[in-house]
Amino acid sequence: MRLASLKKLFTWRKLPSELRYEDARRALESRSGALKRELAARPDAPPETLYYLAGDDDPAVRSLVAANPSTPIQADEILQTDADEEVRAELARKIARIVPDMPEDERENVRDRVMTLLEKLARDEFTRVRQIVAEEIKSCPTIPKRLAIRLAHDAEGAVCGPVLEYSPLLSEDDLIEIVATTRVQGALEAIARRRNIGGALTDAIVATLDIPAIAQLIANPSAEIREETLDNILREAASIEAWHLPLVMRPALSLRAIRRIAVFVSRGLVEELVRRHKLDPETEIELKARTQARIEAQAEPPASDLLVERVRKAHEEGALGDDMVAKAASLQHRGAVALALSLLSGVPEATVAHIIEVKSGKGISALCWRAGLAMRTALAIQIFVANVPIDARVLPRGGIDYPMEERELLWHLHYFGIEV
């Protein structure tokens, strides 16, 4: 009888369809990797067996235990600190999927332990683990708000993006604060894609002058864009091609806005503007005629030095300031911007050009401060002229003020050899 049992043990290749406790024990005793992996994935495996397998040497076995919905919470808590990223990723996926559907009558102790486990996974050192958590709970209204806030402030776009775009737990004030402080690539775009964005949040996004984010905002039909805000966008839109198509496709444009858009978009987009907004024949003829005249005028050689001369003349007349410098920046006219900064700050134009060339957001900000210009102008120069990467940009504090103290601004001037 003993010999028959041993023979059966060593000839086992697969677990039976109806798993008993004895079967699980025998699979463990067999030391077969294949049987342990199959057992680790079985939802009918005894909790004690899954707990035991959570400490197995094989990371593939531990990953299967982590993904198994029948694994007891005690084993999940052990796996949360597993050395293998894949194990923690599988655990994150399972726990994040469980949380939204946890019944209200679930024992309070279990719910608390599951939530604690989820929050620990949301702080995991590996981006992929945090990303899985964010993707799974992005629309969940029943997670703790502190968890949504933590993920929304994550330093990786793949983590914060889904929560910023979808989480119902983030208030308009929360989002406005993030808009003012984030340096994460893609974070503003994710916020701009949210449904039913209010006017205050729209204004905050537009104030950043972030081209991709504003393009997403314009393309978002549920975003409220006040007329004054749209005017601010249209003032800069001529030189920003990424905004042209979204503006043309924007629903419910006023005739005044349509006329302004038709001034700078391509002939094909004017035709789309006419078709989409069902303009009357008289307006259609007028817009197309103006477009044709503009195209013909642009065929003539541009007066490339005209803006530079205007900057020089405005300085001589004491009229050179934020308006003209910001306008030159929005037109991406590096020469005019460099000259204006040089004239206003007393810094040699070659030094100004060098600071712009090396894409130093802090250097540009310090230079604008010395020149007596607003921080908003410094941001426009960073974006449109220097093409400073988003994570290296210096953003206005509260949308207006310089975020650095005078001591730090002076340090950055000295760094570029500018004596004060």
The 10s digit of each residue's pLDDT in 3-24 is 445 444 444 567 777 877 787 7
Residue 329 located in a structural domain:
yes
* pTM of the predicted protein model: 0.73
Mean pLDDT of the chain: 88
Q: What is the distance between the alpha carbons of residues 50 and 61, in angstroms, rounded to a whole number?
A: 10
- CA–centroid distance for 259 within its chain: 33
Q: Are residues 324 and 405 in the same domain?
A: yes
Bridge partners of 401? 397
Residue 185 located in a structural domain:
no
Residue 152 located in a structural domain:
no
Q: Are residues 292 and 381 in the same domain?
A: no
Of the candidates 250, 254, 287, 255, the residue with the CA atom closest to the CA atom of residue 268: 287
Q: What is the distance between the alpha carbons of residues 371 and 391, in angstroms, rounded to a whole number?
A: 24
**At 374, is the pLDDT very low, low, confident or very high (cuts 50, 70, 90)?**
very high
Q: Are residues 342 and 282 in the same domain?
A: no
Q: Are residues 386 and 344 in the same domain?
A: yes
- Residue range 254-290, pLDDT digits in tens: 999 998 998 888 888 888 888 888 888 888 888 888 7
Question: What burial letters (b/e) apply to 284-316, b meaning 16+ CB within 10 Å?
Answer: beebeeebeeeeeeeeeeeeeeebbebbbebbe
Q: Give the range among 14-23, 113-122, 124-133 with minimum mean pLDDT.
A: 14-23
Q: Is the pLDDT of residue 84 over 50?
A: yes
Residue 384 located in a structural domain:
yes
**At 101, is the pLDDT very low, low, confident or very high (cuts 50, 70, 90)?**
confident
Q: What is the distance between the alpha carbons of residues 102 and 80, in angstroms, rounded to a whole number?
A: 19
Residue 279 located in a structural domain:
yes
| Three-state SS at 76 | helix
Q: Are residues 361 and 410 in the same domain?
A: yes
- Residue range 304-340, pLDDT digits in tens: 568 888 999 999 999 999 999 988 888 888 899 999 9
- Residue range 230-249, pLDDT digits in tens: 999 998 888 888 899 999 99
Q: Is the pLDDT of residue 64 over 90?
A: yes
Q: Taking each helix axis as running N to C, give the angle between helix 334-345 and helix 349-357, from 0 to 180 degrees, rounded to the nearest 10.
A: 130
Residue 9: how many other CB atoms lie within 10 Å: 13
Query: Final residue of a domain: which of 297, 327, 361?
Result: 297
Q: Determine contact, residues 348/342, Cβ cutoff 8 Å.
A: yes
- Residue range 149-176, pLDDT digits in tens: 999 999 999 999 999 999 999 999 999 9
Q: Are residues 264 and 341 in the same domain?
A: no
Q: Are residues 410 and 329 in the same domain?
A: yes
φ, ψ dihedrals at 331, nearest 5°: -85, 0
Q: Are residues 354 and 286 in the same domain?
A: no
For 113, how many CA atoms within 13 A lie in the half-sphere containing its CB?
13
Q: Is the pLDDT of residue 303 over 50?
A: no
pLDDT at position 307 is 83
pLDDT at position 18 is 80
pLDDT at position 107 is 58
Q: What is the distance between the alpha carbons of residues 78 and 318, in angstroms, rounded to a whole number?
A: 70
pLDDT at position 241 is 86
Residue 32 located in a structural domain:
no
Query: Final residue of a domain: which of 263, 278, 297?
Result: 297
Q: What is the distance between the alpha carbons of residues 124 and 13, in angstroms, rounded to a whole number?
A: 37
pLDDT at position 193 is 96
- Give the number of domains in the chain: 2
Q: Determine contact, residues 61/40, Cβ cutoff 8 Å.
A: yes
Residue 108: how many other CB atoms lie within 10 Å: 8
Tell me the two tokens of residue 27: 């699979």
Q: Is the pLDDT of residue 298 over 80?
A: no
Domain that holds residue 404: 306-415
